[in-house]
Structure 1
Amino acid sequence: MSLWLAIVIFIGLAAVIGYAGTMLTKAADQLADLTGFGEALVGGILLGAITSISGIITSVTAAYEGQPELAFSNAVGGIAAQTVFLAIADIAYTRANLEHASASFTNLLQGVLLIGMLGFVILVMASESLTVFGIHPASLILILIYVFGTRLISKAKEHPMWEPQDTSETVEDVPDENNQPNVNLKLLIVRFTVLAGVVGVAGYYIAQTGIIITENSGVSASFMGALFTSVATSLPELVVSVSAVRQGALTLAVSNIIGGNTFDILFLAFADMAYQEDSIYHAATNSQLFIISLTILLSSVLLLGLLHRQKYGFGKVGWESILSILIFVIGYFLLYNM
């Protein structure tokens, strides 16, 4: 396949993924109301996992085909990109600062879990390489951390020990009565399954075209994964969050990003299982370490914004959103020149 054909297909697949993400938004909001789980849990776990399917397939495919840097950078770079997507959703919410209006104890816990899992990955990268049947034990531990953490968050939602202060701009996560009647739960689940398949197939071919572009354009695998494939496979999160904001499902918008980011770290565990040569954590370079550090910084800024809860900010956009965009742009400029 020629470079230009790969670029055209790459853009087309990105559009497919973005369209599928749009269709997921309303269904996710309906599921949150019908099941009683709430927007934070549905957005953070179910929707976050489904919109991450394309990214999983991209990282696993790249790892299996001997492109560990592309696989690693796509996984962590997607988290950085999606954090900036939340800043875009904040800009789309013109009434107030999105992080203020969507105050949620569950989202705060998701953010803490995210930073903890990223820190664990750095510990593994700094340790000696170890594989058992071709898999690093840390990959299994990473999955256990995610399962334990999400279970803890689920219990905390039922019996919260901390609650944000309500203000005139706080939008509570309460069931929308318009989502209740004439909605078939089974049909909703079928829709989710079909959309997951579409996004998954598109994600596989995004990986293929991403590898071709990397090999023929002179762009490094680290930068290609950290920016292009990660942004393309993260388009569902952007579309879902902006759509959720416009529909008034603010908690869903934020939890989709933070919860999706937490799930995205598992890309590394799945990619490690697919990588044939050694531990994918130890096939990483300083570029991947730089991306993880940048992602922790972005996540910390977001978490501070969720705790500080600035009500309006410049142009009704929170300081954390503006700072996140600046950090992202400067960070990727430095990464490109590494």
Structure 2
Amino acid sequence: MTTALLPWSKFLICALLIGLAGPVLTRSGDAIARLTGLSRSWIGLVLLATATSLPELFTGISAVAAAGAPNIAVGDALGSCVFNLLLLVLLDALSRDEPVYRRVDQGHILTAAFGIILIGFVGAFLLIGRGALDIRLGHVSIYTPFLILLYFVAMRAAFFYERRAGTIAFTGEKGTETGLAGAVGRYLAAASIVVGAGVWLPFAGLEIAEVMGWRASFVGTLFIAAATSLPELVVIVAALRLGAVDMAVANLLGSNLFDVLVIAIDDIAYTDGSLLASASPAHAGSAFAAVIMSGIVIVALLYRPGARFLGIIGWISLSLLVVYLLSSYAIYLLGH
């Protein structure tokens, strides 16, 4: 019993540290938005999405470089994409006045669409990037530079869209230099806590998989992905309390873009070959689930449904929940 409890204790400690840093990230991000004049959506897309995705980054690098666990790395990144979209269900349930899809700007459609493109490519590469199509530059897959380029194209497009929309004006309420420095300092301090906990997560995950007899791909997709998505969970709840719903949604969708960049970085850190060729093709199921869920979100942002299922969540959120549950069950059955 003690042997089984130890890895779970490590896992829960890491998850607790990550969860505690979330509110600090939100408050400091909101302060930076006010002090620099940047929009909350842009802060959510860039600063918060980057910070809350740091666990996936360092968990992935640690998994491939130290633990030799490519399935943990890929499962964590893609599982986090699915889990981030699931968090929209919680955001919708907590938005009691009206469905969350009616409260946010339709500009998030651009980020969601780029998410479909990036995650869809990862899913395709997981299936076809093997055998004769496993083309490498050294130990790095030839598809990795493409993913990195596409990520920066997406961020550039989002920046110019926000600027055209007038939400990036750099003329908002200004604060003192000390105030901005303090906000940035708190942001960096919270981010460092997230990094430290993220480094230890893959080792705890591997121990859990061994003790419980579970597949590493399932552990990476479900448990580690949920833990490394705790910052997103805490951030969206805190943002909702601040009335910054656009910041919350931008954080979730922006984190999905960053998670694809994480996979590319993990491939560079993985010296035993191509990461996507070494990982289980079952992870493509998570990628395509994230693509389907992103498509559902786009429908919601365009259609803006008002009806709620049992007065709690709308049919859009119910659809997201069903896709998440089915994909989790599929990765459990098909994972190695």
**Same fold, judged at TM 0.5 (above):** yes
Distance 1:320 1:4 in 2: 38
Q: 1:298/1:244 Cα in 2 relative to 1: closer, same or farther (>3 Å)?
A: same
Q: For residues 154-202 of structure 1, what are the alpha-carbon distances to aligned partners after superposition, in whole Å with 9 as ceiling and x for unaligned?
A: 11112149x9xxxxxxxxxxx997x958971111111111111110000
1:250 deviates by: 0.8
Q: For residues 224-248 of structure 1, what are the alpha-carbon distances to aligned partners after superposition, in whole Å with 9 as ceiling and x for unaligned?
A: 0100000001000011011111210
Between the aligned residues of both structures, percent identity stands at 29
Structure 2 unaligned runs (5+)?
none
Is 1:68 the counterpart of 2:63? The answer is: no
Distance 1:319 1:157 in 2: 29
Distance 1:230 1:122 in 2: 17
Q: Provide the residue aligned with 1:82 in structure 2.
A: 84
**SS of residue matched to 2:278:** coil
Is 1:38 the counterpart of 2:33? The answer is: no
- Give 1:330's aligned amino acid: L
Distance 2:217 2:283 in 1: 7
Q: What TM-score, normalized by structure 2, do the two folds share?
A: 0.91
Is 1:153 the counterpart of 2:154? The answer is: no
Q: Provide the residue aligned with 1:326 in structure 2.
A: 322
User: How do 1:198-217 residues align onto structure 2 when only pairs under 5 Å count?
Assistant: 198-217=193-212
Q: For residues 44-102 of structure 1, what are the alpha-carbon distances to aligned partners after superposition, in whole Å with 9 as ceiling and x for unaligned?
A: 11110111111111111111222111111111000101110121011111111111111
Give runs of ≥4 in structure 1 deviating > 4 Å. Answer: 179-183
Q: Provide the residue aligned with 2:188 in structure 1.
A: 193
- Give 1:124's aligned amino acid: F
**SS of residue matched to 1:95:** coil
Distance 1:99 1:183 in 2: 37
- Give 1:227's aligned amino acid: L
Please say if residues 113 and 149 of structure 1, whose CA atoms lie closer than 8 Å, have aligned partners that are also in contact: yes
- Give 2:100's aligned amino acid: L
Q: Provide the residue aligned with 1:23 in structure 2.
A: 24
Distance 2:84 2:75 in 1: 14
Is 1:220 the counterpart of 2:225? The answer is: no
Instruction: Count residues in correspondence.
Output: 326
**What is the root-mean-square deviation in Å for CA atoms of aligned residues?**
2.3
Q: For residues 248-274 of structure 1, what are the alpha-carbon distances to aligned partners after superposition, in whole Å with 9 as ceiling and x for unaligned?
A: 001001101001111111121111111
Distance 1:63 1:305 in 2: 37
Q: 1:213/1:287 Cα in 2 relative to 1: closer, same or farther (>3 Å)?
A: same
Distance 2:102 2:213 in 1: 43
Q: For residues 282-306 of structure 1, what are the alpha-carbon distances to aligned partners after superposition, in whole Å with 9 as ceiling and x for unaligned?
A: 1122311111111111111112111
Distance 1:141 1:2 in 2: 43
Q: Provide the residue aligned with 2:136 in structure 1.
A: 131
User: How do 1:113-132 residues align onto structure 2 when only pairs under 5 Å count?
Assistant: 113-125=114-126, 126-127=128-129, 128-132=133-137
Please say if residues 96 and 312 of structure 1, whose CA atoms lie closer than 8 Å, have aligned partners that are also in contact: no
